[in-house]
Structure 1
Amino acid sequence: MAAELYDVGEIGPVSVSFWRFLTGLGLLLSAHLVRRSRRPETAASLRATFAANPRRALVTGFGLAVYQTAYFASVQQAGLTVATVVTLGSGPVLVAIGARLTLGERTGAAGTAALVSGVVGLVLLTGGADGSTGPAPLLGIGYGLLSAAGYAGVILLGRFSGRKNAGVAFEPTVIGFAVGTVCLLPMALLEGLLPDLERPAWTLGLILYVGAVPTALAYTLFFAGLGVVRATTASVVALVEPLTAAVIGVLVFGERLNAILLTGTALLLFVVVFLAADEGVGRGASRRTSGPGADHGRRTSRPATQTKG
């Protein structure tokens, strides 16, 4: 839908990102005000949230702006297929490396296999679609790698903060989008801020959709999820984004799924289900290990051993 806005609105990638962020920010601020009015004791103020960790807000906002804008620039220069494969394919790899080095999260053999399978599924899914490239593929690949780096940084920071403040994701998301909107505004003004309103209802509808569904709603859920799952798991699960795009193409635009697309779809769905099950097993084992019952069992086993002696 963002690519459709790029074509219909006749604006550049920075301006598309700006309108996406601004609309998403407006919706998130409205939701925040409702939360504050109904549950003032549980909804933290935005000022207090920013003051508690200003570095997180600034880095998250800047990372989101870089991630989104560089991706749209990659689509413009290299085409949708190349941009999607480079950005979403390299992102989980960078996240896995960063999670190991900065968070101490081990991927393991099963996790590595799932990561590789997810990337292969992504390649199959996008390779079975329109493979046309843009005017400058190498430049587009560079933008895609920059986008992946911003994506990895946001995930790692979100995971690091989420482990310390599990369940507190909404207000930091609002602040992150506020920072991202401010970062994008000067560049959007230079690029050309206002979209073409030759088809005003369609253009405004696209802006509202990309701001509401894949921005405000999706990132709120995404950052909430980072508090409870590993960074690598979150990055691989995010590979379902092109899968949902393919489903929309089939249901809305009448596109057909060929054998390659079906194989990539099945592989991605398998990886997501496997990682979800693996996360559940890991949390269950952690509770059994750290729970009071396990500690009680260890305490009661020592006297039995001493009796035998």
Structure 2
Amino acid sequence: MGGSADILVAACLWGTTGTVRTFVDGASNVSIAAARIVLGGGLLLVLAVFTARAGLRALLAVRRNWALVGLGALAIAVYQGAFFIAVARTGVAIGTVVTIGSAPAFAGLIGVITRQAALSRRWLAATAGAVTGCALLVGGGESAGADPVGVALALLSGLSYAVYATLAAALIGRGESDRAVVAALFGAAAAVMAPVLVLSGTAWMVSASGALIILYLGGVTTAGGYMLFARGLRTTPATTATTLTLAEPAVAAVLGVLVLGEHLGGPAVAGLGLVAVSLIVLIAPARR
């Protein structure tokens, strides 16, 4: 499976964050998101300094890369911030579906505009199926009101994530070190999010449980997850990668049942199956 396997493992790691989040007391979602980016970005920079120093120097030695790194870091920060505000305004179900579901569509549109990728019929079918499955899975078939501003912010979040994935894929596709690219992007994003972390409060990180949880969220799901995602982008187009990350809500739903004792209704179970089938269709080898 090559790069697809790396991206699916990264999506599975990201899918654990919601369950782990439930064990954190006294912390806002914004504070947790900022802490993840700051710690994860710092760890990625340290790792790159020790294992990909030459690649990091080569990446930053090209002045035209500075704008791409800055734009990618801004996209990461906007993705996090817009998502949490969207969820607060329009609810978890709608905010999550619109953000996760719109990202592959935006990535495909960006790929066509920049001529980095052509959209195959397989990609279109798999993406449509996976997005529909996510809607059934996260929404559970329940009707809910949608706040227009919240939906707009969720779309901005999905677009920002697609921009990050496209920029990372473009830099890696030029021959830049994947470790250097992800370190530069998240290191810059950490600098942007550091003031947000300070303003949102850090008291929850002082306890033993809080420290362990943020180490997992920042070290494993952020630093480890995005390192795998970057490695997968060596051989996987950004359009395919963003569709594969739709496995994240499926993993979150399964953990909700197994760990938190949540119940999945019929539509959600159908959505889970549809996501699984769609991703299998996307990564299955093409017949000659």
TM-score range, shorter chain: 0.7 to 0.9
Q: Secondary structure at the match of 2:114?
A: helix
Q: How does 1:248-267 map to 2 (within 5 A)?
A: 248-267=255-274
Shift of 1:183: 1.4
TM-score by length of structure 1 reads 0.78
1: distance between equivalents of 2:277 and 2:269? Answer: 12
Q: Which residue of 1 aligns with 2:115?
A: 103
Deviation of 1:91 after TM superposition, in Å, equals 1.1
Q: Which runs of 5+ in 2 are unaligned?
A: 1-16
For the pair 1:20 / 2:36, whether they are aligned, the reply is yes
Which of 211, 219, 230 aligns to 1:212? It is 219
1:199 and 1:177 map into 2 onto residues whose CA distance is 24
Deviations 1:29-78 (A, max 9, x none): 34335536xxxxxx525344322322222121111111122112222222
Q: How far off is 1:245 after superposition?
A: 0.7
Equivalence for 1:62: 74
Q: Unpaired segments of 5 or more residues in structure 1?
A: 37-42, 286-309
Query: Structure 1 residues 6 and 89, CA, compared in 2 at 3 Å: closer, same or farther?
Result: farther
User: What corresponds to 1:11 in structure 2?
Assistant: 28
Equivalent AA in structure 2 for residue 10 of structure 1: A
1:141 and 2:151 correspond = yes
Residue in 1 aligned with 2:185?
176
Give the greater-gyration-radius structure (CA).
1
- Length-normalised TM-score, structure 2: 0.83
* Partner deviation per Cα, 1:256-287 (whole Å, 9 max, x = no partner): 3332222111111111111112xx439xx8xx
Identity of aligned residues (%): 30
Give, in whole Å, the separation in 1 of the partners of 2:217 and 2:205.
19
User: Does the 8 Å CA contact 2:89/2:150 hold for their aligned counterparts?
Assistant: yes
Check if 1:163 corresponds to 2:184: no
AA aligned opposite 1:18:
A
Q: Confirm or deny: 8 A CA contact 2:35 2:197 kept in the other structure.
A: no
Deviating 4+ runs (over 4 angstroms): 129-133
Q: Is the 8 A contact 1:243 1:265 kept in 2?
A: yes
Q: Equivalent residue of 2:97, what SS?
A: helix
Describe the SS at the equivalent of 2:259: helix
| DSSP-derived class of the 2:202 partner | coil
Deviations 1:146-178 (A, max 9, x none): 111111111211222222227x21111111111
Change beyond 3 A, Cα 1:244–1:230? same
Higher relative contact order (CA 8 A, sep 6+): 2
Provide the residue aligned with 1:299 in structure 2: none
User: Where in structure 2 are the equivalents of 1:225-264 lying within 5 Å?
Assistant: 225-264=232-271
Against the structure 1 CA distance between its residues 109 and 16, is the aligned structure 2 distance closer, same or farther, given a 3 Å change threshold? Answer: same
Task: Measure the CA separation in 2 of the matches of 1:7 and 1:86.
Answer: 26
How far apart are 1:194 and its partner, in Å? Answer: 2.0
Measure the CA separation in 2 of the matches of 1:198 and 1:226: 33
Deviation at 1:179, TM superposition (A): 0.6
Specify the alignment match of 2:229 in structure 1. Answer: 222
Report the AA paired with residue 158 of structure 1. Answer: A
Amino acid at match of 1:32: A
Amino acid at match of 2:28: I
SS at 2:204's partner residue?
A: coil
The number of aligned residues is 269
In 2: Cα distance, 1:6 partner to 1:75 partner: 20
Inter-partner Cα distance in structure 1 for 2:118 and 2:223: 31
Q: How large is the Cα RMSD of the aligned pairs?
A: 2.7
Equivalent-residue separation in structure 1 for 2:228 and 2:127 (angstroms): 21
Task: Return closer, same or farther for 1:205/1:97 CA change in 2, 3 Å cut-off.
Answer: same
1:35 and 2:20 are equivalent in the alignment: no
Please tell me whether residue 80 in structure 1 is matched to residue 72 in structure 2: no
SS in 2 for 1:106: coil
Rounded Cα–Cα distance in structure 2 between residues aligned with 1:193 and 1:12? 9
Q: Write the distance in 1 (CA, Å) between the matches of 2:91 and 2:102.
A: 17
User: For residue 3 of structure 2, what is the aligned residue in structure 1?
Assistant: none
Opposite residue 35 of structure 2, the aligned amino acid is W
